[in-house]
Amino acid sequence: MENNNVQRDGFSSKLGIIAAAAGSAIGLGNIWKFPYITGIYGGAAFILVYLVCIALIGLPVMLSEFVIGRRAQKNAIGSFHKLAPKTPWFATGWLGFAAAFVILSFYGVVAGWTLDYVFKAIMNAFAGQSPEQLGDMFGGLITSSFAPIAWQWVFMAATAAVILGGVKDGIEKYAKILMPLLLVIIFVLDIRAVTLPGASEGISFLFQPDFAKVTPEAVMSALGHAFFSLSLGMGTMITYGSYISKKEDLSVTALQVTIADTGIALLAGLAIFPAVFAFGIEPGAGPGLVFITLPNVFNQMPGGYFFGILFFVLLAVAALTSSISILEVVVAYFAEDLNMDRKKATILATVAITLLGSVQSLSNGMLSHIQIPFLNQGSMNFMDWMVLLSDHMLPVGGLFISLFVGWKMAKGDVVDEVTNGGVLEEKTWTNIYLVLTKYVAPVGIIAVIANMLGFFG
């Protein structure tokens, strides 16, 4: 059931595409998740593994998603139906569809914490609080039943509202202005953090690798997070690729987005770890790390009151430009392939995902006694379980995407898409990319998963 009469919405300008794709990539992954998992897995060595995953697997998978989407001019599931009719490849799209539910459900909860912190910042709630009190403040928020869910609903309603505004008016407009501003704020925080007394220990944590800390779980987490941070493995970049004009250079776009995303994550790490050590916070503190650390930094800087407000507002906006890209995967499928009214699809998907997230929010408090085992990685509450699940689903999705472009699509079609029908002369890069997508990415992903499951002893 396809509706070919629909005029597909598209991005209006070059900056629009990069801003929207970077807006999707840059979000809570960079500023909330990257620092906290870096803290858990021990710092510099983990970051190096992460960077290798980005370069050898993330970048080619991003280009592959763009290739699939722009070739097919369809959403994540429809693209596979169109490029490989009557084959099971569309299941890759389904996996992405499921991942969208998993990710957006917890994403909305964390974004809700961010909104609560905007409110706290406005109320000047951090002033005069010790690092320990700021830790309790965060614990108090996430374990309570009502407030985090209320904020989560506010955030999810905002996400749905942007999606209802359509691609051009909704996504582009917000991303273009505010992401550069976030970068500026993080820069200022970097300067404050590295000049704090006692910052040097945090700097060595970030730059002196200790490879003994790199466990198989750490490598899996680095790979999973490479996908999460670049918005890969789920069909987001397939869907966005379908909106990119035939004249754009997909490789350059993928490279720019990757560099911007990775740069922001590293700068966020540089704002956080020196402060973590300066204030005697536990680096492995987990999902609260950013929320506990940065208010301490705001307390130690001139104008900290305003920086605090601005930072959490911009973080919420960064989360919004990401969450809309996740919801868009679900809505584009409902609307295009099931011929559902876009408005109805948006409301349906948002309500279902939000309810799933609210249960996870309760798993930090009222329902924390329910501990769920995950493979060989111990037991945890429902929300942490879903975060870990996404770290495993996305690389599997990326594996199929790489195999699809590398082995299923005709080589001529792939080259045609990467070179814009031969207009772009990119011989060397095209060949490197083909090797990465055919061999390096799939073998790398399989090796990391097998290693994590203990196949290599």
Kindly provide the b/e burial profile for residues 334-373, where b requires at least 16 CB atoms within 10 angstroms of the residue's own CB. bbbbeebebeebbeebbeebbebbbbbbbbbbeeeeeeee
> Closest Cα to residue 388, out of 228, 276, 212?
228
326 interacts with ligand TRP by CB under 6 A: yes
Decide: helix, strand or coil at residue 380.
Answer: strand
322 interacts with ligand TRP by CB under 6 A: yes
Other beta carbons within 10 angstroms of residue 74's beta carbon come to 25
Q: Give the C-alpha separation, 170 to 66, whole Å.
A: 21
Query: Please, what is the minimum distance in Å from the beta carbon of residue 178 to ligand TRP?
Result: 15
φ, ψ dihedrals at 372, nearest 5° = -115, 130
Query: Please, what is the minimum distance in Å from the beta carbon of residue 322 to ligand TRP?
Result: 4
Query: Please, what is the minimum distance in Å from the beta carbon of residue 218 to ligand TRP?
Result: 19
From the number of C-beta atoms within 10 Å of its C-beta (0-12, 13-18, 19+), residue 238 rates as buried
What letter represents residue 333's amino acid?
Y
Q: From the list 53, 72, 77, 103, which residue makes contact with ligand TRP (rule: CB under 6 A)? A: 103
Decide: helix, strand or coil at residue 373.
Answer: strand
φ, ψ dihedrals at 423, nearest 5° = -65, -40
**Comparison of 325 and 402: residue with beta carbon closer to ligand TRP:** 325
Query: Please, what is the minimum distance in Å from the beta carbon of residue 73 to ligand TRP?
Result: 20
**Comparison of 58 and 135: residue with beta carbon closer to ligand TRP:** 58
Q: From the list 16, 23, 29, 288, which residue makes contact with ligand TRP (rule: CB under 6 A)? A: 29
**Comparison of 91 and 370: residue with beta carbon closer to ligand TRP:** 91
Sequence length of the chain is: 457
Query: Please, what is the minimum distance in Å from the beta carbon of residue 444 to ligand TRP?
Result: 18
241 interacts with ligand TRP by CB under 6 A: no
Query: Please, what is the minimum distance in Å from the beta carbon of residue 337 to ligand TRP?
Result: 19
**Comparison of 29 and 43: residue with beta carbon closer to ligand TRP:** 29
Q: Give the C-alpha separation, 330 to 239, whole Å.
A: 10
Task: Read off the tokens for 143.
Answer: 């374990």
Query: Please, what is the minimum distance in Å from the beta carbon of residue 224 to ligand TRP?
Result: 10
φ, ψ dihedrals at 379, nearest 5° = -110, 150
Q: Give the C-alpha separation, 441 to 173, whole Å.
A: 34
Interface with ligand TRP in residues 346-385 (CB under 6 A): none
Q: How wide is the angle at C-alpha 261 spanned by C-alphas 259 and 264, nearest 5°?
A: 105
- The residue of the chain with the least Cβ separation from ligand TRP equals 29
Q: From the list 64, 92, 221, 231, which residue makes contact with ligand TRP (rule: CB under 6 A)? A: 231
Q: Of 162-170, 206-214, 322-330, 438-446, which segment contacts ligand TRP by CB under 6 A?
A: 322-330
Q: From the list 228, 385, 400, 404, which residue makes contact with ligand TRP (rule: CB under 6 A)? A: 228
**Comparison of 234 and 436: residue with beta carbon closer to ligand TRP:** 234
Q: How wide is the angle at C-alpha 171 spanned by C-alphas 295 and 228, nearest 5°?
A: 60
234 interacts with ligand TRP by CB under 6 A: yes
**Comparison of 25 and 223: residue with beta carbon closer to ligand TRP:** 25
30 interacts with ligand TRP by CB under 6 A: yes
23 interacts with ligand TRP by CB under 6 A: no
**Comparison of 199 and 326: residue with beta carbon closer to ligand TRP:** 326
**Comparison of 110 and 436: residue with beta carbon closer to ligand TRP:** 110
Query: Please, what is the minimum distance in Å from the beta carbon of residue 114 to ligand TRP?
Result: 11
Q: Give the C-alpha separation, 260 to 227, whole Å.
A: 15
Task: Look at the block and give the residue holding tokens 């002893």.
Answer: 457
Max Cα-Cα span within the chain: 64
178 interacts with ligand TRP by CB under 6 A: no
Q: How wide is the angle at C-alpha 314 spanned by C-alphas 151 and 184, nearest 5°?
A: 160
Residue 373, strand partner residues: 379
Q: From the list 19, 28, 260, 441, which residue makes contact with ligand TRP (rule: CB under 6 A)? A: 28
Residues engaged in binding ligand TRP (CB under 6 A): 24-25, 27-30, 103, 228-229, 231, 234, 236, 322, 325-326, 394
